Structures are given as C-alpha cells and as structure tokens.
Structure 1
Amino acid sequence: MDTVPLWVLVCALIFLISCSAFFAMAETALMAASRHRLRSYAKRGHRGAMTTLWLLERTDSLLSLILIANTLINALATALATAIAIMFFGYDYSAIFIAIALLAFVLIVFAEISPKFVGARYPENISLAAATVLKPLMALAMPLVWFVNQLVQLVLKLAAVRPQAAQHRVSPEELRSIVLEGGNFIPQKHKSILLNLFDLETISVDDIMTPRAQIEALNLAVPVAEIKAQLTTCYHNKLPVYEGEINQILGILHVRHAIALLNEEEDLTVQHFRDLLTTPYYIPQDTRVFTQLQYFQENKERLGIIVDEYGEVQGLVTLDDIIEEMIGEFTTSVPGAARSEVFDWDKRGECLLEGTTALRDINKRLGLHFPVDGPKTLNGLMLEQLQDIPESPVGLKIGDVIIEVIQVKNQAIKVAKLIRPSTRLFA
C-alpha cells in the first residue's frame, strides 16, 4: 500500500461507492418496474425492455448477482478506508474505527438510501439502462452465481424450507387498482367501461333485469283486435308471449314477422301468432351477468326470461341490458322504462323517484350507498324496512338519507322522495 498513491486509493474508494450505489438503485428499480409497461415497450421492439424482461424472468440469479456484487464491493471499500486511515494515522485503532464508521455512514446515505429512492422514483427508465450492464455481468458471474444458489438451496433444504417460484399473475383486485390509478393515461370513459367489466363478475342478472311488472308481453287470451293494437304500437323487436298468466310463457314473438302477418292476413286468429313463436330462453335469477353474456354468445340469443327456483317469472334481460351495464346507457331508450330514467338531486337536495327504480342505479346516479344484497328496488328496500305496506305518507331514514313515501298504489310504493340530511338540517 505504501507504493500506491493516496489519490489512487481515494479514486478507487469513490468508484466502489458509486458501484454500490448503482447496484442498490438497479435492484430497487428492477423490482419496482411495471412488467406490463415493459412488455408494452418490448412489443414495440425496445431492446432495453427485452433485456430487462429477460433478467426479470431470472429473478433468483439476478438478485444473487446484485447481492454478491454489493457485498464484495462494500468489503473492498471497507478495506480501502482502513488502508487510507492507516496511511494517515498509523495503526491507531480509534482512527481506524472512525474511518470505518464514516464509510458506513457514506454507504448508507449515498450508496443505499438515496439510490433506492431514485430507483423507486424512476423504475422503468433506470431498469432499461441498468439491464444493459447487468446482463453481461450475469454472463461473466454465472459460475459464481450458480455455486451460491446451489449452496443456498442446500441450506434451505436443511432448514426444511421449500422455496416456490414467484407468481406474477395479477388478481382482479390488482387489475382494478391499476385501472383506478391509471390517471390521465386512461380516458375517463375507457376507465368506466373497464371498471364496469369487473363488476359483471359480482352482479347477477336480477340486478339489471326489467322486473316482471314492467315486462311488455303479449297475451293471447285477449281478443285479436287488442293483440293487433298492441303490436302496431309496440316499441320492442321481440315480445314474450303468454296465455292468461305471465308464468305461462308460450314463446317469443318477432314483432316484424307479426307486422308482416298483419299486412298479409285478413282473417287473423290466435293460431297465426302461435305459429310465429320461437322457443323461450330461460335464465336462473342468480346467474352472474358475465356468465350470462357468454351464454348469450354461445346460444346466439339476445333475450332471456328470468325465473326463480320455483319456475316463476321474475323479469326479463336482454343483450342490450348487459351492454348498457358495460358501456353506459344508449342515447335511445324505451319509453317508461325504469332503467332509462334520468334523475338527480335538485337545488333543494331532493329527488323524486318511482318505487321501481333499481337501487344500483340510485347508488350510481346519486352517490348513495343503499345495500344491494337484498331487495333490488327502492320499493323493496322501503317495505323491508317498514315491515308493512304504508297506507299514508310516512318517512324513514336509511343510512344518511331521509325517504318520504309520496304515493302508494297496488300494494306497492309508487313514488318516494329522497332528501339529503344536510338539506333538511338547513331547511
């Protein structure tokens, strides 16, 4: 050491500290880098991204290389600091101890904490640059890395620990978080559609169906003149057809075929309409919406009758209903359909709603949190809370919202008023 100039030792020490900082920064950046973003770069032909992904597929060897390099570099840095202290102060143990303590402080601040903060702040950029250095180093150090890994495996085996390969599968919850944290990278409309897609796995068809009481259906038990009148004013392309009672579904009628029949036949009978019916498609009411979308696709159907465990008709769902649940409501809507109703808080913080309005729609539009795991409509929720059909206007509070019954008709709450508590307090 006496023949080595001091400036060489100092430069070597600075170089070793810089190398230690590089490996610390590279380790943090590589572990924090988004594999999805790197794959996107790689598909566009980015060589650095390809190299980074190659390294990340060999995480065990990569981490072993970084740890071995960091350990050797820190050991050499300690030896150099000791040598420099001896050159200045001789074999003074106090001076040597102070030199090692100062080096430890420098390593912690400039070769550990600061580089790792930088690596965590710019993970992709640093990973792409570091990968071009780490890949050749891994090739050079492969024998040493292999030996160390084998020794580690032996130690773990003796300790009865079975290491498992890292799993990089993304759960639905993680995907949802990625979408929510997309910020300005994902347009708001696209973000809304993606989040709605996740919800399709958690909701069932009875959450989006047209309830039984609102189904427009054709009753063949009425005179033919009434049937003709209903067909000429019908909005839908397909109608469920029953006879006498809606649970007795006979089939599905294509309205355009029936309109053609009206123009061709003068002496129409019920049998003419029966001959046009197609087989109804039934859906259990607890079927998940995403599953039903697949069933519609596989069976080439667009409309299904929802039945409960007793075979009673509960409602109707169409392919359009599911698509609206994913991308939002269409600009055209069926007159009188509850799902297409537009509502919001007025200036007084009040909102008039029909009792048949779906709770999920209320929660979405008004920003409320009514429970949706029980009754599906506002009427159902209020009757569950009241345990009775009110005969006169009454009010109740559910969560933070005050609800007043405005109109009761046919054993159901027809119209109700929602009032935000803050507006009532200052009224």
Structure 2
Amino acid sequence: MEQLPLWAQIGAIILLLVCSSFFSISETAMMALNRHRLKHLANQGALGAKTTQHLLGRTDELLSVILIGNNLLNTVIPVLCTAIALRTFGNGNLVLSLATGVVAFLVIVFAEITPKIVGATFPEKIALPASLVIAPLIRIARPLVWFVNLFANGILRILHINTKGGRDQRLSPEELRTVVLESGSFMPTKHRSILLNLFDLENIAVEDVMIPRRRIEALDFDAPFEQILHQLETCYHNKLIVYQGEIDRVLGVLHVRKTLAALHNQELERETLSALLTEPYFVPTGTPVFQQLQYFQESRQRTALVVNEYGELQGLITPEDIIEELIGEFTTSIPRGANSRGGWSEQGECIVAGSMPLRELNRWLQLSLPTSGPKTLNGLILEVLEEIPDGDVCVEIRGVKLEVMRSDDQAIRTVKLFKPGSRPSSALR
C-alpha cells in the first residue's frame, strides 16, 4: 500500500467501506425478510428467492460468512486509515486520535447504521439480489466457516442452546388474525372481514348464531284447519317446525311447498299432514359451529333444532345462519322490527327489538357489544341493570348508549340505540 499513490489508497478504503456496507445491509435485509412472503416468491419463481430461502435454512453458515467478512473489513479499514494519516501528517498523538475518531465515524455511519436502516426498510429488494453474491462466497469460504462454526457450535452446546428448535415459522391462529388485521389496503375490506369471521368461528357455538325460540316460525298441529292452511300460504320460510300443544313437543319439520302441492287436489286432513312430516334433527346448545356445519354436510340436513340439557327447545339453526356469520347477512326473510330496517337514522339513532341477538346487532350496526355472556340485547341490559326496569331507563355499554323504550313484567321489548359519537336527543338518566 505504501507504493500506491494517495488517491489509490483512499479509493481502496472507500471500496472496503462499500464491501462492509454490503455485508451489513445484506445481514439486516435477510433477517428482516418475511419468510412467508419469501416462500410465495420462491413458488412464483422470483429471481434469487430460492437462493435466499436456502441461505436462511442454513443461518449458521450465512451469518458466519457475513460476520467474518464484515469484521475483517472493519478491522482492516482503521489500520489503513491510521497508517495513511500518520504517513501524511506525521507521527503524533493528536494525529492518531483524530484518525481514530474519523475512522470510527465513517465505519459507524457508512458501514453500520445507514446500511442496516436501508436493509430493514427494503428487505425484499435487497436480500434477493444479495443472495446471488453471498451464495458463492459461502462455497468459497466453507473451510473457514467450518473452522469458525466448530468453536461457535461448541459454545452453543455448552450453553444447551438448540438452534434447530427455533426455526419453526408456523403461525398460530391469533398470529394469522393479526396478519389479516394488519393487511390494510393489500386486501379488500370484505375479504378481510370474512377471514376474521372465519377465525371467530373457532370460539362460537350454535347457540350464538341460532334463531331464538321466540322468533321461530312454527305451526301448531292442533290448530284449526283454516288457520293451518292460512299459515302455510303466508309463511316466510319454506320449512316449518310443527308442534303439538307447546313448542317443546316437536312432531317434525314440514316442507311448505311440497305440502301445498300435495294438498292441492285433496282435502286437508291431520293424517295427511302428519304423513308429510320429516323427523326433526336435534343438536345440543354447546355444539361448535364448525362441527355443526360438518354435521349438516354429512346428514344432508338443512334445519337443526337446538335443545338444552333438559330437552327444551332453545332455537333453530340452518347452514344459512352459519354462512351469514361468515359473509354477513344476505337474507331478510323476517323484518327486524319497526324503524330498524334502515340502520342508523340521520340523528344517529336506531330502534330495535329487545330480543335481537347481539351478534346480529353488532354485525348489522358495526358495534362491539359483549357477546360472551347473554345472547340477546334484552339479556345484556338486564345483566347490567340486574332488574327489569319499571320505566324508561338509559344505560351505556361499550360506548353505546341504550334507552329502554318499552318493557313488561317479563322482558325488555323495545330499545333505542344511539350511535357512538353522536349526541342523544333525549336526556340520559
């Protein structure tokens, strides 16, 4: 180096700084790279993706080459800079101190901090091309890497550190949920909502999505023939639950269209009606929704009656109810109640029935009322108040103001909701 002109020596130092920067930026980019994104790029045949994937599978060799190269360069650079400074400006303590400070500044800024920030910001754009350079270096330096790793692995064994056990990159359902939540503009809002609902189904039972007992459209077998025929002709659904005396005594399920077609040319009789009934399909309240969906597929059933441990009817569930839980409501067979079809009014108010299920209410009005306890709005308010209110009462739950408009001795019948952030038109008490 002493025979080279000064500009050549400075050029050599700059080249060494660039090489050191390359190792620093490559190390940071490789470690910051998303493994699942990398796997997708490898499947798509992106240049350097498979090479990068292979290098990350041998982290010990990758880090060894990068760190050996980076540290050797960072060791050589100060020596050369100090030698040039002493030869140019003389042998003195001040010159030595200034040269050391300048070299430390150059190495920290240009070979460490700046490259690492760039590598962490653009890991994909840097790691894939860099892998095409590092891979040959690993093959060339394999003997040196083996020798260094011999000591490093020995220390890891002494410390009882298993490096192979930390390479599992599988994501838990909660981690996947976080990935979906943070997808932002990369995924359409509707698709993100469906995926989040899919994760929620793991913790949902049939009682959370079923049609409650009070809202089941059922047919009394003992009713007069004229009333039965009128109900068949005006019912909302194609299948009706048929009971005798009380709804807990279910006789079967009646297919409305087939029944009307069969009774078109013959007189309606109870024996004929009884012969058209199909056997009811019962499921317990705690059945997971995913499991119930599989049961529907296996049994070719479209309607299931949800019963509690005493055999009492609690509700009704269909595959459509489960699908609506995933993709949102797409049928409006039964109106929700007076003034509730349009959602929030211009004043930020909405009137709903107290029997409305909380999950449906949250999905419909984009609320976050708790669903871990009571399943209906009536049950939630009663749990908070711990009594059936005598008159108009207002309460706030999870930032949502609710006003009880009508109630009786048994339950809360009508509730007015105020949109979060809006000013209620009536005074809260």
Structure 1 length as normaliser, TM-score? 0.90
1:76-97 deviation per Cα after TM superposition (whole angstroms, max 9, x unaligned): 2222223223322455354334
Q: Distance in 2 between matches of 1:300 and 1:150?
A: 63
Is the Cα–Cα contact under 8 Å of residues 42 and 49 in structure 2 kept in the other structure?
yes
Counterpart of 1:350 in structure 2 is 349
- Tell me the amino acid that sits aligned with residue 96 of structure 1: L
1:168-208 deviation per Cα after TM superposition (whole angstroms, max 9, x unaligned): 11222332232223232212222222222222223322222
Counterpart of 2:379 in structure 1 is 380
1:223-254 deviation per Cα after TM superposition (whole angstroms, max 9, x unaligned): 44433332222232222332222222333333
Distance of aligned partners of 1:96 and 1:425 in 2 relative to their CA distance in 1, 3 Å threshold: farther
1:28-53 deviation per Cα after TM superposition (whole angstroms, max 9, x unaligned): 11222223333333222223222222
Matches within 5 A, 1:181-192: 181-192=182-193
Q: Distance in 1 between matches of 2:308 and 2:148?
A: 63
Distance of aligned partners of 1:165 and 1:350 in 2 relative to their CA distance in 1, 3 Å threshold: closer
Q: Distance in 2 between matches of 1:5 and 1:352?
A: 87
- Tell me the amino acid that sits aligned with residue 37 of structure 2: R
The secondary structure found in structure 1 opposite 2:166 is: coil
Q: Distance in 1 between matches of 2:90 and 2:299?
A: 89
Counterpart of 1:116 in structure 2 is 116
Is the Cα–Cα contact under 8 Å of residues 360 and 372 in structure 1 kept in the other structure?
yes
Q: Distance in 2 between matches of 1:62 and 1:171?
A: 28
Structure 2 stretches lacking a partner, 5+ long: none
Is the Cα–Cα contact under 8 Å of residues 280 and 304 in structure 2 kept in the other structure?
yes
Shift of 1:213: 0.6
Distance of aligned partners of 1:28 and 1:273 in 2 relative to their CA distance in 1, 3 Å threshold: farther
Distance of aligned partners of 1:423 and 1:219 in 2 relative to their CA distance in 1, 3 Å threshold: same
Is the Cα–Cα contact under 8 Å of residues 388 and 409 in structure 2 kept in the other structure?
no
Is the Cα–Cα contact under 8 Å of residues 179 and 194 in structure 1 kept in the other structure?
yes
The secondary structure found in structure 2 opposite 1:278 is: coil
Whether 1:403 and 2:398 are equivalent positions in the alignment is no
Is the Cα–Cα contact under 8 Å of residues 209 and 317 in structure 1 kept in the other structure?
yes
Counterpart of 1:20 in structure 2 is 20
Q: Distance in 1 between matches of 2:294 and 2:90?
A: 81
Q: Distance in 1 between matches of 2:290 and 2:297?
A: 11
The secondary structure found in structure 1 opposite 2:72 is: helix
Is the Cα–Cα contact under 8 Å of residues 336 and 353 in structure 2 kept in the other structure?
no
Q: Distance in 2 between matches of 1:356 and 1:151?
A: 70
Counterpart of 1:255 in structure 2 is 256
Q: Distance in 2 between matches of 1:298 and 1:386?
A: 44
Shift of 1:412: 1.8
Shift of 1:422: 5.2
Counterpart of 2:281 in structure 1 is 281
Q: Distance in 2 between matches of 1:4 and 1:78?
A: 18
Shift of 1:132: 1.2
Q: Distance in 2 between matches of 1:300 and 1:20?
A: 66
Shift of 1:425: 8.2
Q: Distance in 2 between matches of 1:132 and 1:247?
A: 72
Is the Cα–Cα contact under 8 Å of residues 176 and 195 in structure 1 kept in the other structure?
yes
Is the Cα–Cα contact under 8 Å of residues 228 and 262 in structure 1 kept in the other structure?
no
1:59-88 deviation per Cα after TM superposition (whole angstroms, max 9, x unaligned): 232222211221122112222223223322
Shift of 1:16: 1.3
Q: Distance in 2 between matches of 1:422 and 1:268?
A: 56
Matches within 5 A, 1:307-318: 307-318=307-318
Counterpart of 1:297 in structure 2 is 297
The secondary structure found in structure 2 opposite 1:47 is: coil
Distance of aligned partners of 1:86 and 1:301 in 2 relative to their CA distance in 1, 3 Å threshold: farther
Is the Cα–Cα contact under 8 Å of residues 282 and 306 in structure 1 kept in the other structure?
yes
Distance of aligned partners of 1:136 and 1:252 in 2 relative to their CA distance in 1, 3 Å threshold: farther
Structure 2 length as normaliser, TM-score? 0.89
Using the aligned pairs only, state the percent identity. 50
Q: Distance in 2 between matches of 1:343 and 1:377?
A: 20
What is the RMSD of the two structures over their aligned residues, measured on CA atoms? 2.6
Q: Distance in 1 between matches of 2:297 and 2:140?
A: 55
Q: Distance in 2 between matches of 1:40 and 1:280?
A: 48
